[in-house]
Amino acid sequence: MARPLRVEYPGAYYHVINRGNAGEDIFHSIRDREKFLEYLEVI
């Protein structure tokens, strides 16, 4: 059974989590991390 659809509306804030399996890095470089954070600022 699928989960219910998420309620979305313009201007809403959403929680974002990034976590690697078994403590692994999720970004290949510091620049990758910085670029990801830049994308979050735009939204």
| Residues 26, 15: Cα–Cα separation, whole Å | 17
pLDDT class of 17 with cuts at 50, 70, 90:
confident
The total number of structural domains in the chain stands at 1
Question: Do the domain assignments include residue 35?
Answer: yes
Question: Do the domain assignments include residue 7?
Answer: no
Q: Which domain holds residue 32?
A: 13-43
pTM of the model: 0.52
| Residues 35, 23: Cα–Cα separation, whole Å | 21
Question: Do the domain assignments include residue 3?
Answer: no
What single DSSP character describes residue 28? Answer: S
Question: Do the domain assignments include residue 42?
Answer: yes
pLDDT class of 43 with cuts at 50, 70, 90:
low
Question: Do the domain assignments include residue 1?
Answer: no
Question: Do the domain assignments include residue 23?
Answer: yes
